[in-house]
Structure 1
Amino acid sequence: MISMQPIPSSSPMRFLFYVILVIFLTSTSISSSYDGGNETDHHALLKIKSMITRDPYGALTSWNTSLHFCDWYGVKCGKRHRRVTFVALQSLGLEGSLSPHVGNLSFLRVFSLANNSFQGAIPHEIGNLNRLTILYLGANTFNGVIPTNLSGCLNLQKLDLSRNKLVGSIPKEISFLSKLSFLSLGLNKLTGGIPPFLGNITSMETFSVVRNPVGGIIPDTLGNWKKLVGFHSGGCNLSGSIPHSIYNLSLLANFILFENQLTGSLPRGIGAMFSHLEILELNYNQLTGPLPSWISNCSKLRGLDMTDNMFSGKLTIDFSKLGDIEGIYLSFNNFGSSEADEMNFIDSLKNCTKLDDLDLVFCKFQGVLPRSIGNLSDQLRYLALYGNNLHGNLPTSIGSIPSTIGKLQKLQYFDLTENQLSGQLPDALGNLSSLLELYLFSNKLEGVIPSSIGNCRHLIALQLDDNKFTGKIPQPILQLSSLSMILNLSQNNLFGSLPTEVGDLKMLTALDLSYNNLSGNIPSSLGSCGSLTSLSLKGNLFQGMIPPSLSSLKGLVELDISHNNLSRQIPRFLERFLLEYLNLSYNDFEGEVPQLGVFANASAFSILGNSRLCGGVVELGLPKCKETKKHKEKFPVFVIIILIASSLFTIICLAYAWCKKKSKSRPSQSSMRDRFLKISYAQLLKATNGFSETNLIGNGGLSSVYKGALNEDDDTLVAVKVLRLQNRGAERSFMRECEAWRNIRHRNLLRIVTSCSSIDFQGNDFKALVYEFMPKGSLHDWLYTSEGTSRLNYIQITNILADVASALDYLHNHCVPIVVHGDLKPSNILLDDEMVAHVGDFGLARFLGTTSYQNSSTGIRGTIGYTAPEYGLGSDMTTNGDVYSFGMLLLEVMTGKKPTDDIFNEGHSLHKFASMALPDRVMDVIDLNILNIYQGACEADAQKIEECLASTIKIGVSCSVDPPALRMNMEKVVHELRRIQNTLPNIEI
């Protein structure tokens, strides 16, 4: 303690005293603020900052000398010693590596760099942080092995190293962390199995190694984790059986072991264990035996997935005790027991009021489908029982609206295909107002098809084929303009004429009415179904001629009208179609068989059973057509002389032109190869008014696109894409597109009319593709032209996104071979008169699993901003790349910001801009033009709209995430967008 004595009165002494006092107080203050420990922390933080190469949001701008480091962003200090105890810099887009100086923050308790782009090895110096309790380094690109000296962090409770590129095995030293309760190592490249020594960490509550190729078995020692709540080891290549000790973990809530090679059966008598279980996922394994009845005691269960195992025997689970269950997935098992009451478990589902999905596909059930299926949850969206051997009448309770039970008003997917169901369809099916897909084919259903199905205004797919339906085709079904995927009523006993209302199916892709007793003429209105790619009227009693209106079905790939009573000549417009299969056999056609288009390949079409046909390609072996007799007339001599002179002049001109062309260059191989061209350079020149600037509607690096009309007598417009063959890659682009259009057809893909590979009037090679003209232009035009920006509302945008997603789902999941588009962006999305989106430009397409047009190691693959980041690192093109492009496109139309906007630089991106707004700040990033949907919306509708906006942004973020394996599959994207469409309230905009 300082003794305060009287100050000497002399002035020099007084001055000296004050100087000493000031120095003492100042040094005391500095010591209290920046003693040796504080300086260490300050220096360590600066070193950490120095190794961060990108800070797109400027989060570290506060890390400077104008502020005390305890006040820096993301940093907290202890109140007593002013030492750093907390550093949290997650989700800031930071890039760089982690400085070893982090090990000098000796008072650090919480350290998080999650969801950034840190790379390199995790520094071993972290093991010096013996006070550390939480370490979150997940969702970065750290590589190398897990540092062994993490064991020095003796107080560590939570460790997250997931979603990195770590290799090697889990080090034994981890077991020394006796306080560890949370260990997440998922989505790395770890091997070496789940080590038994981990069972020594008795404090473990959550453990995850999901999506690592660890291999091996599940150690019995994990039964020591009495506090375990979550066990996540799906996709780990595990084998062997599930150790019995696991079933003693009474606090377990999430038990996830999907996609392994586990064998054996589940124990039957484990009492009241697993009473806290919420998620049980053992799907895609090789488990056998019955599903034990103790699952009934898991009263908190929300999700049960046992798909694709070898479970067998009677299903004895009492679902009535599972009041919180939302999804039940038991498909591809062997539950059939041949007992009369084996389907009684359906009765117990009536108490499952939250049930959303019920998937019982190919389970070998053999009983009667109980009427109680109509009592299922009014939340049910997905109901699939196809591929069983169910019989009896279809329950009349389905779709009824009793006052207390079974309304099924939210059912979107209903599938009872390939059973033995009989009886009539109930009219109450028409009450399923949310239904999107209805599949009842391959049963024994009879009676008339209820016209009430026409009330299902959102239906996109309807298959009732291979049943015993009679009567006429209900007109209301043909007026379902929503039908876009398929309408299949084939293999029934339907009769009468085909109603003219069939022309209302303008969006339909596939129509199959084959093998019925339909009669009369093929209605001209069928020509209005411009989206058709597949049409079958085979095996009916149709008569008359093929109506000329069918010439508008230019997208047809398959056409089968065989085994009818059709007559007259084969229409020439079929030559212009890009048909892959054409069957005209067993009718009464007469006259000459065409020789162009599909008729040039005898193996691609059939005309058997038409005895009055002649001509055609040689392979058909038909007699030559007789020439029409003409009235003989004597021509004046001078006319003959003029004709001869004219012919000689023409021959001389042609010979001169040929010689001139030969002197310039050798003949193009492509022109020789494509000798059966359907359109010439001269025709395209005329159609586009000489490729004039006034007809120019688009320009690209490899081509120009012109508007034109091929026929003066027809006002139908086309878009002519002329390749700039002098540019590198143009010819390859042309060949890719030709290959693509030979293999794909979908209502949301741009329809090609024909192609041209020829010579222009100067003797140069000429190549062009002719497409159906899209009068509403491109999505890019609507987003970035002054007249378009204020006109696209959220409902239109959602419809467009759903169209594009549907096209990509077709390319990725329904094409053989799989097609990768490679250049998805707004300018390649074209809109027709009804604002339906069509994906075009397949110049960069790739066909997976083939050798056609494989990528070279160099060159542009896509467009900057939309190209997947892994392509820049040399990765091959995959469907994941298209998903990324779709995600960028979605976020662009929702936020009004291009991926290449100036604000997205130095690590900041459109993806991060959107992801940082989730879940609570989505309205801050939505384009203002979209928000006019709120006009006239009540408070409840406004809340629904906000939820839909957030869900849409979430889809875009999920599609554009890195790494590629985490991106959403396009099939899931389609499902989610349809759900959003169905959720949106009906609001006038």
Structure 2
Amino acid sequence: MGKLTFLMLNFALLWWWSSIPSPGACSGNQTDRLALGSFRNAMREDPLGVLSSWNDSTHHCEWQGVSCSKRHPGRVTSLVLRSQGLGGFLSPHIGNLSFMRVLVLSNNSFHGEIPPQIGNLLRLRELNLINNSFDGPIPSNLSHCSSLEILILINNQLVGRIHSNLGSLPRLTGLGLANNNLVGPIPPSIGNLSLLQKLSLSHNALHGEIPEELSRLERLVFFQLSFNKLIGEIPPGIFNISSMLAFYVGYNQLRASFPSDMGTTLPFLSELGAPSNLFTGTIPPSLTNVTGLRGVFLFNNSFRGPIPKNLGRLTGLHVLSLSYNQLQDDLSFISSLANCSNLEYLIMESNLIHGSLPRSISNLSASVEVISMRSNPIHGSIPSALGNLFNLSVLILANTFLTDRIPDSIGGLYSLQELQLSANMFTGEIPPSIGNMTLLNALDLHSNNFQGYLPRSLGNCKQLTCLDLSNNNLIGTVPVEILSLFSLSIFFSLAHNNLSGSLPLQVGSLKNLAMIDLSYNRLTGLIPASISECLSLRWLYLEANSFHGQIPQSLRPLRALEELDLSNNTFSGPIPSFLTELALLEYLNLSFNELEGQVPKAGVFLNASAVSVSGNRELCGGVPSLKLPLCKLPRSKKSCSTKAIVISVVAGSLLCLALLVLCLSIFFYGKRKQMTTDASTKLSLEHPFLRISYDELLRATERFSESNLIGKGRYSMVYKGILDSGETVAVKVLNLMQRGALRSFVSECRTLGTIRHRNLVKILSVCSSADFRGNDFKALIYEFMANESLEEWLHPGTTRRDDESGQSRNLRLVQRLNIAIDIAIAIEYLHKGCCPPIVHGDLKPSNVLLDNDMVTRVGDFGLAKIISTVSGEAIGIQDSTSTAVKGSIGYVPPEYGMGHKVSTLGDAYSYGILLLEIFTGKRPTEEAFGAHLNLHSFVQTALSDRALDVVDLRLLSEADDQQQEIMIGDCAALVLEVGVACSMDSPRDRMDVTRAIKELYSIKASYETK
């Protein structure tokens, strides 16, 4: 829950100062110019060209970011270069700018140590180096800067201790050293900073106790020590700093209790954050006197006793998070919270709160979004009035003692995205009204006593990603409406019920799903062949049912499988050899079936601890540790081998075989042109997959009419066509006069002929023949994508076709996320699901297609390369005389231009640029970027403080209010960070697509739960 993270107040304070009189001199003027020149020369990166104005033709006081004294002409008083993408080290000559008062270099890419010469700037008032990569220690002679008022070094890579002499800066009001690698104790001398207002030391490795001397900081308003290794008690005097607004000490090992009168001694407190410590005692009742309190974060401690009464006095309260303590109280405090008109989060998990849910829960503020009381001894039933909280997005009442039926009124929670009522004692049927919650992402009702049939109305929950109804007493069949929920992607379990009948064919719709658990039911029949479409499956549990037949070949495409349990069924026949090809399989249970024959000795079967085949009496062989009997030798080893080969060939895909033959024939195109034409023509008649002639394609496309032209590429033109059968297809016609077209055709044939994935275009046929003039003709026939390419959605042009309503189409945030995830999944499959791996080589919006359901299909494999698993090199039909960079301008990784071989990290770069394009709406080749900027650096420099400036404005237009606009902007910014990480110049610095998928799923889940 993103809103539960602690707020880091910034140090953006407005300071006033007067000039420090000092005699000016021409030599000082020249000294400053030379110092600035040294600063410029130390820069290795200047993507925005900010230092281009720093030249001999202008006075240095006119250089960008530089300000000079009016009383002392030519003397530099300020250098401010925020968020300019500058990279390099900070020149030690900076210490020669003796009149410097303000030095701000925040949000850049400086590295190396902070030069100790900075201690020579005796007039310096503000030093702000936040968000860089400075390393090394904090210069000890910063203590010489006696005029320093603001010192911010947050979010760097500084090491070592905090010098005690920082306590000798008498004018310091803000000290920010958070997010570094600092160690050692907090210096007691910091207590000497009598003017200090903000202290931020979080996210380091500081240890020891909090010094008692900090109690002397009487003007402190912001106190942040979270995420360190601090121990001991908080000095009592700190609770007497009456000016305190924000108090954060979470994620340490602090102990003892809070003073009972802290609500009186800290009257202006707005944020109280002390989670994940060892605090004991009671939560001070006096906190209810702090009427300005907005957030209380005390979870994961050992607080005991009652919850403070009169919480309703905290009218500004937004978050109350007291989970994982030992609080003992009834639920009467809920009635008082009705007065908290701004309450959004009520988190009380894992305590000893008892009693029944009061009807007054419906009186909570309409702003309440999250109620979680998991793992408390709550009893009784859910009051029907709970359905009045129409803005509630998360309701978690799992692992309590609730009974009776779930009221039908719960269906009134139209905004609900997560409902967890598992591990209770609910009875009756699952209310069909749950189907009204069309925004629901997660539904967990496992381990109750629900009876009756599965409600078909759950099919209305089109955004459901996780569904767990296991461990109940449900009967009937598995509704096809639930199996048609394409959104299910994380978890689907109906285990331990009394479901019967066969598993419907619609299980193939669960193309994104990672886990299916249907174990311990009474399901019968065969495993549907459509399960082969579930290419994202990692865990499949079908044990303890009555499935029969052979273990189907339809499991073969499930290359992502990590665990497969088919035990306690009636499967028969041999163990299929394809199970040895599932490289990720770590657990396989085939026990207690009727399998027979030899157990394989490859793949997962080499690890006896990962495989169970017991209870199959007719099995033999396998590794010795399985302790199975030896297999009898066949009478004719040769005949058996020949038979196995024939079976293997027949069982293979005719399309793949045809494509292979075709590619082999085309390979010798230059030497035997006429033979190739004849062979391919015969091939088109011999195989049913290839029985699409030139004449039929001519009719299908209305003689390749321009009105049917839907795309143009480097080597081809794509037409919409309607075959004689009535099927609508896309016909890609190769321009064989274009150099490289034949290689592109062969590459696409050989690639698409060996791969299958729901997010890759599906090739239906090929046509290699001659046109009516006798010229060679080659075309690829694909599924038709009704929603065209991503290019048409991101960059509407004069040819854009509007939807039926007449409105120009636009992709919403979640749609863009889904598209981005689908593309990454497709590329991951090419890189890791194919053997040998395949590099796409030309990722861009025009090669990303969208079907009727807006499911993403990556296409155009004309530049694809198969990577040798032995050498790691790209293999394929190459033009030995060509040194041109393959790919599209703007998407090609920089190393390809330097002669590096194609690689999966090259695809990662192209994907990163594509991701940035999807969420900014800007092409990587826009003229506005100029010669010194590209889409990567344009986004990277904006992310630190002006991310909304680069987010596609069409995304922000879907917001209903400013808060939602901020949420959309924040989510898009996180996605852009992934895009930047994937498109780093150096291959070794890039995020790969597997990591990108995880990050994007996490971003999506976080956004959808807000």
TM-score (norm 2): 0.67
Q: Partner residue of 1:11?
A: none
CA distance, structure 1, for counterparts of residue 49 and residue 586 of structure 2: 68
Question: Relative to 1, partners in 2 of residues 1:710 and 1:687: Cα closer, same or farther, differing over 3 Å?
Answer: farther
Q: Is the 8 A contact 2:468 2:492 kept in 1?
A: yes
Offset of residue 176 of structure 1: 1.6
- Are 1:383 and 2:383 matched, yes or no? no
- Are 1:457 and 2:438 matched, yes or no? yes
Offset of residue 914 of structure 1: 3.2
1:654-684 Cα offsets, whole Å, 9 max, x none, are 99xxxxxxxxxxxxxxx99xx9999769873
CA distance, structure 1, for counterparts of residue 811 and residue 126 of structure 2: 44
1:938-975 Cα offsets, whole Å, 9 max, x none, are xx859788656633443245557899999999888657
CA distance, structure 2, for counterparts of residue 423 and residue 53 of structure 1: 69
- Are 1:393 and 2:377 matched, yes or no? no
1:516-556 Cα offsets, whole Å, 9 max, x none, are 34445554544544445544444445566666666655655
Offset of residue 620 of structure 1: 6.3
| SS of residue in 2 equivalent to 1:835 | coil
Q: Is the 8 A contact 1:797 1:893 kept in 2?
A: no
1:834-853 equivalence runs, <5 A: 834-837=853-856
Q: Partner residue of 1:354?
A: 342
Question: Relative to 1, partners in 2 of residues 1:416 and 1:805: Cα closer, same or farther, differing over 3 Å?
Answer: farther
- Are 1:476 and 2:448 matched, yes or no? no
Q: Is the 8 A contact 1:515 1:539 kept in 2?
A: yes
1:316-355 equivalence runs, <5 A: 316=308, 318-335=310-327, 337=328, 341-355=329-343
One-letter amino acid of the structure 2 residue matched with residue 60 of structure 1: L
| SS of residue in 2 equivalent to 1:351 | coil
Q: Which one of 70, 83, 89 corresponds to residue 91 of structure 1? A: 83
Offset of residue 835 of structure 1: 2.4
One-letter amino acid of the structure 1 residue matched with residue 232 of structure 2: G
CA distance, structure 2, for counterparts of residue 308 and residue 904 of structure 1: 49
Question: Relative to 1, partners in 2 of residues 1:594 and 1:280: Cα closer, same or farther, differing over 3 Å?
Answer: same
1:748-802 Cα offsets, whole Å, 9 max, x none, are 988999xxxxxxxxxxxxxxxxxx9996898689769999999996535532315
Q: Which one of 35, 41, 61 corresponds to residue 44 of structure 1? A: 35
One-letter amino acid of the structure 1 residue matched with residue 312 of structure 2: S
Offset of residue 228 of structure 1: 0.4
Q: Partner residue of 1:801?
A: 817
Q: Is the 8 A contact 1:362 1:385 kept in 2?
A: yes
| SS of residue in 2 equivalent to 1:374 | helix
| SS of residue in 1 equivalent to 2:53 | coil
Q: Which one of 407, 420, 424 corresponds to residue 439 of structure 1? A: 420
1:221-276 Cα offsets, whole Å, 9 max, x none, are 00000000111122221111111111111111121122222222222233512222
One-letter amino acid of the structure 2 residue matched with residue 836 of structure 1: V
CA distance, structure 2, for counterparts of residue 591 and residue 561 of structure 1: 15
Q: Partner residue of 1:77?
A: 68
Moved more, 832-841 or 209-218: 832-841
Offset of residue 901 of structure 1: 7.8
CA distance, structure 1, for counterparts of residue 1001 and residue 616 of structure 2: 49
Q: Partner residue of 2:917?
A: 892
1:163-562 equivalence runs, <5 A: 163-270=155-262, 272-316=264-308, 318-335=310-327, 337=328, 341-400=329-388, 407-409=389-391, 411-483=392-464, 485-509=465-489, 510-520=491-501, 522-542=503-523, 558-561=539-542
Q: Is the 8 A contact 1:809 1:971 kept in 2?
A: no
Offset of residue 450 of structure 1: 1.5
One-letter amino acid of the structure 2 residue matched with residue 181 of structure 1: T
CA distance, structure 2, for counterparts of residue 231 and residue 748 of structure 1: 52
CA distance, structure 1, for counterparts of residue 690 and residue 285 of structure 2: 74
| SS of residue in 1 equivalent to 2:403 | strand
Q: Partner residue of 2:630?
A: none
Gaps in structure 2 of 5+ consecutive residues: 1-22, 600-612, 620-635, 668-683, 692-726, 730-746, 764-781, 803-807, 829-836, 874-887, 895-904
Q: Partner residue of 2:130?
A: 138
Q: Is the 8 A contact 2:824 2:996 kept in 1?
A: no
CA distance, structure 2, for counterparts of residue 233 and residue 881 of structure 1: 42
- Are 1:913 and 2:933 matched, yes or no? no
Offset of residue 614 of structure 1: 6.8
| SS of residue in 2 equivalent to 1:143 | strand
One-letter amino acid of the structure 1 residue matched with residue 474 of structure 2: L
Offset of residue 598 of structure 1: 5.0
Q: Is the 8 A contact 2:564 2:587 kept in 1?
A: no
Q: Is the 8 A contact 2:823 2:856 kept in 1?
A: no
Alignment root-mean-square deviation, CA: 5.5
CA distance, structure 2, for counterparts of residue 271 and residue 945 of structure 1: 34
Q: Is the 8 A contact 2:429 2:451 kept in 1?
A: yes
Structure whose CA Rg is larger? 1
Offset of residue 171 of structure 1: 2.0
Q: Is the 8 A contact 1:145 1:168 kept in 2?
A: yes
Moved more, 967-976 or 435-444: 967-976
Question: Relative to 1, partners in 2 of residues 1:496 and 1:121: Cα closer, same or farther, differing over 3 Å?
Answer: closer
CA distance, structure 2, for counterparts of residue 569 and residue 749 of structure 1: 29
One-letter amino acid of the structure 1 residue matched with residue 459 of structure 2: L
Offset of residue 194 of structure 1: 0.5
Offset of residue 181 of structure 1: 0.6
1:442-841 equivalence runs, <5 A: 442-483=423-464, 485-509=465-489, 510-520=491-501, 522-542=503-523, 558-561=539-542, 573=554, 592=573, 595-598=576-579, 604-606=588-590, 608=592, 615-617=596-598, 684-686=656-658, 690-691=662-663, 794-796=810-812, 798-802=814-818, 804=820, 833-837=852-856
Q: Is the 8 A contact 1:822 1:881 kept in 2?
A: no
Q: Is the 8 A contact 1:158 1:181 kept in 2?
A: yes
Q: Is the 8 A contact 1:800 1:837 kept in 2?
A: no
Q: Partner residue of 1:127?
A: 119
CA distance, structure 2, for counterparts of residue 385 and residue 310 of structure 1: 17
Moved more, 60-69 or 548-557: 548-557
Offset of residue 445 of structure 1: 1.0
Q: Which one of 97, 114, 139 corresponds to residue 147 of structure 1? A: 139
Q: Partner residue of 2:700?
A: none
CA distance, structure 1, for counterparts of residue 920 and residue 796 of structure 2: 16
CA distance, structure 1, for counterparts of residue 187 and residue 196 of structure 2: 14
Q: Which one of 969, 973, 980 corresponds to residue 950 of structure 1? A: 969
Question: Relative to 1, partners in 2 of residues 1:960 and 1:292: Cα closer, same or farther, differing over 3 Å?
Answer: farther
Offset of residue 159 of structure 1: 0.9
Moved more, 248-257 or 685-694: 685-694
Moved more, 228-237 or 541-550: 541-550
Question: Relative to 1, partners in 2 of residues 1:826 and 1:809: Cα closer, same or farther, differing over 3 Å?
Answer: closer
- Are 1:100 and 2:92 matched, yes or no? yes
Q: Partner residue of 1:62?
A: 53
- What count of residue pairs does the alignment treat as equivalent? 805
Q: Is the 8 A contact 1:183 1:207 kept in 2?
A: yes
CA distance, structure 1, for counterparts of residue 991 and residue 566 of structure 2: 48
Question: Relative to 1, partners in 2 of residues 1:809 and 1:396: Cα closer, same or farther, differing over 3 Å?
Answer: farther
Gaps in structure 1 of 5+ consecutive residues: 1-31, 401-406, 626-647, 656-670, 696-707, 718-729, 742-746, 754-771, 813-820, 845-851, 857-862, 870-879, 984-989
Offset of residue 300 of structure 1: 2.0
| SS of residue in 1 equivalent to 2:264 | coil
CA distance, structure 2, for counterparts of residue 89 and residue 276 of structure 1: 36
One-letter amino acid of the structure 2 residue matched with residue 70 of structure 1: C
CA distance, structure 2, for counterparts of residue 185 and residue 540 of structure 1: 58
CA distance, structure 2, for counterparts of residue 276 and residue 886 of structure 1: 49
One-letter amino acid of the structure 1 residue matched with residue 855 of structure 2: V
Question: Relative to 1, partners in 2 of residues 1:429 and 1:749: Cα closer, same or farther, differing over 3 Å?
Answer: farther
CA distance, structure 2, for counterparts of residue 371 and residue 527 of structure 1: 44
CA distance, structure 1, for counterparts of residue 908 and residue 361 of structure 2: 38
TM-score (norm 1): 0.68
Q: Partner residue of 2:777?
A: none
